[in-house]
Structure 1
């Protein structure tokens, strides 16, 4: 089918319009297969509604048995027809999206990198949009997770599509070729976290703790973040905890020929938000209770230090608590005066693997948030968020307080080992 034919005809040749459960839907024959579209909604957790739909291919054989899209594209790849099938799927999704009745939502289109690079296929996509009177700003091109032989050509093609108004999404981030390097190369607007990352995080606390930082990193890079494959309430809470922008998955909405149920989506996300708020408040209360004895002992240590007692003498009550790790003193420039004060012998033996870091005398902690917070608001105990301690490469929380010792301002610090229980 030529571009001229596409622009002159109302519907691409071979497409048929039918009614399914009261919904209009286009289909097309490809060999012995009947191809059509369904749409999986993509929700904004903040807006509590669908903001887009991903077009997904559905195929049936002559006996009306479902054929996996993976098999359809797998066979196309084996016979060298993958770009044609990819473009056929795009045309089908565009036709069905037009009759879907979505007024402002995006259409997420999976696009093989070769389609973007190939001038004929890219021109056909633009011609289809003109014929259907769909603005490029309504289309999010999902660059599939596949190796591109010429990444520079792909990056240039992506740039040209963005200049025309399209949004670009990097699909399956964290799997195969879709990694952090692709972000710098393709500069997408949206990054879709692969389902496998969520699956691993749901079963491993260490992986779960990484996800919020990864989302924060992507946000700092100027990318909106979508997490896909959210199938359970547990995973939905993880997505909310990670501060992602968009979610997609069976928990929120299954692929369907029609629009998402707006009332159901708002109720689902609203209930999820309420449970998340309740869990967050409960966790904050648990943490406050957990920290209380450490803060009391630390405040007493600071009082004794300000009264002229030695650091080695004032920290014992704090260090005697179960998860207290060390105390140390900084001057007003962030430089550590003296060594770490450690109470238990088992702590010293545990640190032997990190022996090059054990002597912190003279180290400068000016960059650390606990130092800056203490200097900015003296005489008050500050508590950091959990972070990775350089001393033993374990999570910790640091208490800090700036206090006057004689004629100089110093900052007393105390580290607490902080292994959080899973809270999703």
Structure 2
């Protein structure tokens, strides 16, 4: 069918609802690590009476809103989706149906039993129904909470949709304790090479893990994005990479095969990254060893700065370096391979001699856990604003223990460039 671009006023929404001129579309939601189809999201298209043209959902609901028919349309859409899903459910009784619910309706009708009655009549178990709601659009927080509690008690699953877009409230997400959290496409898009999106996604994974929810990455369109989801702790994916929504969806074996391809590519990436990491650590160790050798022959800690400056001349991989005493107090200046003062953002300042670093991981893990070497996760340096890792190593001078800290610049390559 063709898609209509008619303006709202030419759509007879009342007739569409009365005659049930609606067709259900489905998009698979894939458990990549489980190598299976976890569920289908039910979507809807209107059909122009007497024409072979479909009406996109945004246009359909806009017309219903204008005519004051949002609730009847929402209910008619659910009837169409439940009816169409029954065939898939009978083939696979474990399949989930992700059913969209206009959150504004919750504000209007509260926790009515209409949805329960619809599901009862459909012959589908409530445990197979995932009610998708967009919490950011709900004005009545207490009403939303009551709705979620009521339907969870009836056996339904609750999913929060479009999390990470617009004004998603993290406190509200934690308070509602959904079964599933769907991460919006705005976070997923280009996440394979945009570092701050990776950090947002990891934070959402941590939050969902703590509230006992499953995370679904929405809008995944490329293999690189799919692999990045796995890399950051996600396991379930929805998006064009696997399949576009369709009204003739078939539970194809090709979809399962595609999950296996993603898992295999991810495994290959892990092996490559491990090899790259080992090579990088070897280069880091050689640099640090040379610096410690130079520091260990001075007569007094006052000479640390001069030796660090000599060692870092031409060391393009090093952001900066400094020395701590056994108590975690910085006993050298922060010496940079490049001009640290070139950073114009006032929030970033290199630490000076006398600063206490005793609560930092690169100190605590060495002294309190009695390790000789510590390598941090990547982070933004407060000295220069660069993404870096800190490599710290214990050394001795005149029977006293010191810690050399070297910040190595960390590059973030697009995931696609890393794939074998």
Could you state the TM-score of these two structures normalised by the residue count of structure 2?
A: 0.82
Please tell me whether residue 273 in structure 1 is matched to residue 263 in structure 2: yes
Relative to 1, partners in 2 of residues 1:43 and 1:60: Cα closer, same or farther, differing over 3 Å?
A: same
Relative to 1, partners in 2 of residues 1:121 and 1:73: Cα closer, same or farther, differing over 3 Å?
A: farther
Taking the aligned partners of 1:144 and 1:231, their CA distance within structure 2 comes to 22
Relative to 1, partners in 2 of residues 1:70 and 1:295: Cα closer, same or farther, differing over 3 Å?
A: same
Query: Helix, strand or coil: the match of 2:25?
Result: strand
Taking the aligned partners of 1:176 and 1:205, their CA distance within structure 2 comes to 19
Taking the aligned partners of 2:40 and 2:86, their CA distance within structure 1 comes to 12
Taking the aligned partners of 1:207 and 1:297, their CA distance within structure 2 comes to 29
Please tell me whether residue 91 in structure 1 is matched to residue 75 in structure 2: no
Partner of residue 237 from structure 2, selected from 247, 252, 276: 247
Deviations 1:225-259 (A, max 9, x none): 21111223233233333332311112112334566
Please tell me whether residue 238 in structure 1 is matched to residue 228 in structure 2: yes
Contact 1:105/1:138 (8 A) holds in 2? yes
Which residue in 1 is equivalent to 2:7? none
Could you state the TM-score of these two structures normalised by the residue count of structure 1?
A: 0.82
Correspondence list, 1:341-356, <5 A: 341-344=335-338, 346-347=339-340, 349-351=341-343, 353-354=345-346
| CA deviation after TM superposition for structure 1 residue 306, in Å | 4.8
Taking the aligned partners of 1:363 and 1:165, their CA distance within structure 2 comes to 56
Correspondence list, 1:52-63, <5 A: 52-61=39-48, 62-63=50-51
Please tell me whether residue 171 in structure 1 is matched to residue 124 in structure 2: no
Taking the aligned partners of 1:356 and 1:269, their CA distance within structure 2 comes to 43
Deviations 1:280-316 (A, max 9, x none): 3334434443453332120232345456654335433
Relative to 1, partners in 2 of residues 1:162 and 1:340: Cα closer, same or farther, differing over 3 Å?
A: same
Which residue in 2 is equivalent to 1:9? none
| CA deviation after TM superposition for structure 1 residue 89, in Å | 1.3
Contact 1:50/1:262 (8 A) holds in 2? no
Which residue in 2 is equivalent to 1:105? 95
Deviations 1:329-352 (A, max 9, x none): 2234433234323354x23x2246
Query: Helix, strand or coil: the match of 1:176?
Result: coil
Query: Helix, strand or coil: the match of 2:403?
Result: strand
| CA deviation after TM superposition for structure 1 residue 44, in Å | 1.2
Consecutive unaligned residues of structure 2, counting only runs of 5 or more, are 1-14
Please tell me whether residue 381 in structure 1 is matched to residue 370 in structure 2: no
Contact 2:136/2:168 (8 A) holds in 1? yes
Partner of residue 372 from structure 1, selected from 364, 370, 374: 364
Query: Helix, strand or coil: the match of 2:207?
Result: helix
Relative to 1, partners in 2 of residues 1:160 and 1:88: Cα closer, same or farther, differing over 3 Å?
A: same
Which residue in 1 is equivalent to 2:305? 312
Please tell me whether residue 402 in structure 1 is matched to residue 394 in structure 2: yes
What CA RMSD, in Å, does the superposition of the two structures yield over aligned residues? Answer: 3.0
Taking the aligned partners of 1:302 and 1:377, their CA distance within structure 2 comes to 21
Which residue in 2 is equivalent to 1:140? 130
Deviations 1:77-129 (A, max 9, x none): 11111122112212222222223223112211101124435557730111223
Aligned pair count?
394
Taking the aligned partners of 2:41 and 2:133, their CA distance within structure 1 comes to 13
Partner of residue 158 from structure 1, selected from 141, 148, 152: 148
| CA deviation after TM superposition for structure 1 residue 407, in Å | 4.6
Please tell me whether residue 36 in structure 1 is matched to residue 23 in structure 2: yes
Taking the aligned partners of 1:376 and 1:146, their CA distance within structure 2 comes to 45
Query: Helix, strand or coil: the match of 2:38?
Result: strand
Contact 1:354/1:391 (8 A) holds in 2? no
Relative to 1, partners in 2 of residues 1:334 and 1:95: Cα closer, same or farther, differing over 3 Å?
A: farther
Deviations 1:376-397 (A, max 9, x none): 6657433222111121222111
Taking the aligned partners of 2:387 and 2:244, their CA distance within structure 1 comes to 38
Query: Helix, strand or coil: the match of 2:62?
Result: helix
Relative to 1, partners in 2 of residues 1:108 and 1:71: Cα closer, same or farther, differing over 3 Å?
A: same
Contact 1:294/1:321 (8 A) holds in 2? no
| CA deviation after TM superposition for structure 1 residue 56, in Å | 0.9
Deviations 1:366-419 (A, max 9, x none): 343322333366574332221111212221111111234445443221111223
Taking the aligned partners of 1:160 and 1:95, their CA distance within structure 2 comes to 24
Please tell me whether residue 131 in structure 1 is matched to residue 118 in structure 2: no
Partner of residue 390 from structure 1, selected from 382, 385, 398: 382
Which residue in 2 is equivalent to 1:340? 334
Contact 1:34/1:60 (8 A) holds in 2? yes
Consecutive unaligned residues of structure 1, counting only runs of 5 or more, are 1-27
Deviations 1:209-237 (A, max 9, x none): 43543444434543422111122323323
Contact 1:73/1:85 (8 A) holds in 2? yes
